[in-house]
Structure 1
C-alpha cells in the first residue's frame, strides 16, 4: 500500500478538515514568502486536492 493510499484511507470522511489544513498551510507559506511564490503554492494546493480526491468546486464553496 502506497503512502497516498494510506493518507486517503486515514482522511476518509475528513476531507473538509484536510482541505482547510492545506489552505492554512498555503496561506502561512505565502505570508512567510510575501506571496513571492503564490502561483506555485496554488498549484501545489490544487495537486494535493486532486490526490486527496477533493473537487475544485468543493474548494470554491466550502461547507458552512
Structure 2
C-alpha cells in the first residue's frame, strides 16, 4: 500500500478512537462545502458525510 493509503488507514483508526472529534471535522467540512457551493449540492454532501460517519462509527467502511 502506498503512502496515501497508509495515511488514510491511520486517519480511520484515529477517527474510530475519537468519534466525537471526527464528527466535528466531518460537520465542518460539510458546512464549508455547502457554503462554497451555495448549498447547490446539499443532498450530496449530507449523503457523503453520513457515509463517512458510518465508516468510523459502525465499521461500515470498506477495507482494501
Normalised by the shorter chain, which TM-score bucket? 0.5 to 0.7
Are residues 40 and 19 of structure 1, via their aligned partners in 2, closer, same or farther at CA, if it must alter by over 3 Å?
A: same
Paired position in structure 1 for 2:46:
42
Structure 2: unaligned runs, 5 residues or longer = 59-64
Paired position in structure 1 for 2:35:
31
Bigger RCO of structures 1 and 2 (CA < 8 A, at least 6 apart): 1
Q: RMSD over aligned Cα, in angstroms?
A: 2.0
- Asked whether the equivalents of residues 16 and 57 of structure 2 are also in contact (C-alpha less than 8 Å), the reply is no
Instruction: After the TM superposition, list the runs of 4 or more consecutive aligned residues in structure 1 that deviate by more than 6 angstroms.
Output: none
* Alignment: residue pair count: 54
TM-score normalised to structure 1 length = 0.67
Structure 1: unaligned runs, 5 residues or longer = 56-64
Paired position in structure 2 for 1:14:
18
